[in-house]
Chains A and B, each alone.
Chain A
Amino acid sequence: MEVALALDHVTKRFGQHVAVNDLSLAIPKGSIYGFLGPNGAGKTTTIRMVMSIILPDEGKISVLGQNNPESVKDRLGYLPEEKGLYKKMMAAEILTYFGRLKGISASVAKKKSTDLLERYGLGEWTKKRCEALSKGMGQKVQILGTLMHDPELVILDEPFSGLDPVNVELVRNLILDMKREGRTVIFSTHVMEQAEQLCDFIFLIHKGNKVIDGPLSEVKSRGDHGVLVDYDGDGSVLRSVTGVKRLNDAGKTAEFFLEDGVEPQDILRQLVDKVTIRRFDLREPSLHEIFVRAVGGEVDESPK
């Protein structure tokens, strides 16, 4: 397995606070790798260290086989968590600028910027100033900015934040396109569904420590299987169902984890009289379940 990115016992402290603690990772080439974790877990710090925007206090980072991250900057694409564009510049212009900063020539950058904008449905915005773009379009322009120079490794920090479902779909397709083109993609999110749909591998970080790391299928099969129920009706009655170890109720969908010896049939029997069942499914645990269990339920929901 060829490794695109390797972290070797990396630690980063901010004063007394340990942001990333003794982290080791190996990310295979051509994969989509999801960085998961609650807010403030250390995702962004890790990514910034990979981009050599900040430097680790201890440990080594090797990007695309290079130990000096500065030397591979031009082979990486990066979308930071905090996103922005120059308001007064035109969409094509800003893409050209980003491309040229990565070392491609003016003529190539110009052509590539219009090509990318056309290809992802932003052709009519080529000559419009960025202040006229909606948030979703702006975010798309920025993701395209990471692709201007055909990077081998693309790192997207929270690419889905603040997007409507149509744009989420678009960005998802964009990421899949990147994989198809043979690029390695790392993205961070705290929305488990997105990771579940896209990732080959996931990495879960909590309070600076690695909690889970591995192929998505493996991670999921390791967990308990549960019963997934789509329902209509009053969800409060679900709590009265017996033989259940844990319940994740999302309002219209609920996930039951059963006590030993309890059959899914028993649950179905109890539910039939209480709510209208639209789907009843026996399956691997959701990433959400894995996530919540891994961080011990203490998800930091405080605003950033």
Chain B
Amino acid sequence: MTNNKIYLVARREYVENLRTKAFWIGIISVPIILALSMIVPIWLTEQKDARKYAVIDHSNWLMTEIEEQAFEPDLEKIMVQITNDLYKKENLDRYPEDVLATAEDYKKKLGTDDPEEAEKKIRDNIQALSKQKNESEAKAQQAIEKGEAPEKIDQYVLDQFDAFHKIMFAWWKTLEPEEAKKFGSGLKKSQFEPIEIKEGTTEEDLNAMLDEDKLFAYFVIGEDPIKGSDGCHYISNNLTDNDLSNWFGNIATRIVQKKRIENESIAPHIASKIRERLKFEGKKVGKSGKTEEVKAADTGRQWAPPAFVYLLWIAVFTSAQMLLTNTIEEKSNRIIEVLLSSVSPFQLMTGKIFGIGATGLTIITFWVLSFLGGIKIAPVVSGGIVSPPDFMAQIAGDPFFLASFLFYFLGGFLMYAAILVGFGSVCNSLKEAQNLMQPVFILLIVPLLAMIPITQDPNGTLAKFLSYVPFFTPFVMMNRAAGPPEVWEYVVTTLLIIGFTGFSFWAAAKVFRIGILMTGKPPKIKEIIRWIRAPIGTVPEVTDGK
């Protein structure tokens, strides 16, 4: 019977919340904002016209080399794209016939029906190709020195790929930037467009073009770029947009570096060895005490804690607003006394908390689901550009991890809900409530401030200390999950949360019992504490007018 009444109150609260505009705005706005924040930047770059640039080349050779290599980085994407299109038999009419024919040949040579595997092979081949280019000379030399035949790995596919690559590149170089946009976003070809200039064009001529907006920028290459940057300039009216100068500068640097290496008579394979970066592969100590590879689930452990801390935070904050407005509306509506003739204050309070909790959870579940759905759909929509890791499996793979999160989430939510509803019950207007809530909201900032230090040092002093302050326990324990804390810490904090949540409910019920029937000025914190300590039924110096 008792539970039934709590359920009835909760259900009414939930149904009524579903009818408010705020609920629907709340539930829809976040996914929309998320989706927009994903789509708009992509859309904006697509909308942007290619930035036109000109080059005055005093060295008389660098520009030609740059032109040769400028759009090579796009090729990987385009090759993946065309192979994918071939598998799906879609959009094939946008490629010229010769490109399509070689792509078809190449696809056959890949010998796989799985687009994902094909994509991987393409990437491997591109790497192999560039490596081969660099090393071919050296290798041949080495082999000859040792009296061996040069090594040939899958040379046939590689040759085929080389042919494909060449034909693709020839087509790609001459493509108009507008056309290039069709093949995806983020392609250099659609972002930057070189403008041919006549022999003897001066900087003054180009300055005039800049002012007329016919050019976005122009480069001046010095007489001897190998020697140094003397005489190299980048001239533009927009110095905040660095994309063009960065891109151009990187290619130029690469070419110049290569020339310098050649000039110093360093063999290319030695140079590439010198330039090779030292990589530190991330590993971790496993349960057996040995080092293990870092798996996807571990990355999940890294990002999941802050995500859950934020979710709990948002849940507490949005529900706080709902709890307050709801309680105050009921008070000012004078409906509270009718309800109290049927249910006890404790049932009413608990029902409200559960009802609003269910509302909050509905919203958050919807957010999480639409987020997860979104990242499933995003790669499809964006044509493979957005491809976040599949972390559903990572989280679901560790039930203990998941269960502890759910527990801390619910415990933390109920604890704060009880505190908030207790405070809310003594107020008559939202303004009063907000004043009284100030300390609670200040408390709530702490877990956010502590988030980064705790993520970095999940078993440090700060983390351990805050784990045992009940107000922060749920946040901090979720935050520390990457540590992870020892089992006894989980046990102690679990008991702490159960205990403190129970205490919050008990105290809130006592305040609620008095508060909801009270009109007039809200009591001071000191007075509220007196109510909590007084036995049920006695109302110490109530400020009620009657």
Which A residues contact B (CB, under 8 angstroms)?
A: 14-16, 19, 40, 44-45, 48, 51, 53-55, 57, 70, 73-74, 76-89, 97-98, 100-103, 142, 145, 304
Contact = CB atoms under 8 A, between A and B. Distances in A.
Given A45-B546, A86-B16, A80 B337 contact: yes
A101 B343 contact: yes
B16 A80 contact: no
Interface stretch (B275-283, B377-385, B531-539): B531-539
A87 B542 CA distance: 29
19 contacts: A14-B539, A14-B541, A14-B542, A15-B541, A19-B546, A51-B340, A53-B341, A57-B538, A76-B341, A77-B341, A81-B337, A83-B338, A85-B333, A88-B20, A89-B16, A101-B8, A101-B339, A102-B342, A103-B1
Contact of B340 (A40, A53, A88): A53
Nearest to A14: B542
Interface string B311-348: 00000000000000000000011110111111110000
Contacts of B9: 101
A101 B337 contact: no
Most buried by B among A54, A57, A77, A85: A54
A282 B342 CA distance: 48
B24 to A, nearest CB: 14
A83 B16 CA distance: 20
A51 B344 CA distance: 11
Contacts of A102: 342
Contacts of A57: 537-538
A301 B323 CA distance: 38
A74 B338 contact: no
Contacts of B332: 84
Contacts of A101: 5, 8-9, 339, 342-343
B198 interface: no
Nearest to B340: A53
Contact of A86 (B333, B342, B544): B333
Given A14-B541, A45-B546, A86-B16, A142 B8 contact: no
Contacts of B340: 51, 53
B517 A54 contact: yes
B545 interface: yes
A54 B341 contact: no
A170 to B, nearest CB: 20
Given A14-B542, A53-B517, A84 B335 contact: yes
Most buried by A among B339, B343, B537, B546: B546
Most buried by A among B5, B335, B341, B539: B341
A85 B339 CA distance: 10
A137 to B, nearest CB: 16
Nearest to B1: A103
Nearest to A56: B537
Contacts of A142: 338
Contacts of A74: 342
Contacts of B20: 88
B150 interface: no
B326 to A, nearest CB: 10
Given A14-B544, A45-B546, A53-B517, A100 B341 contact: no
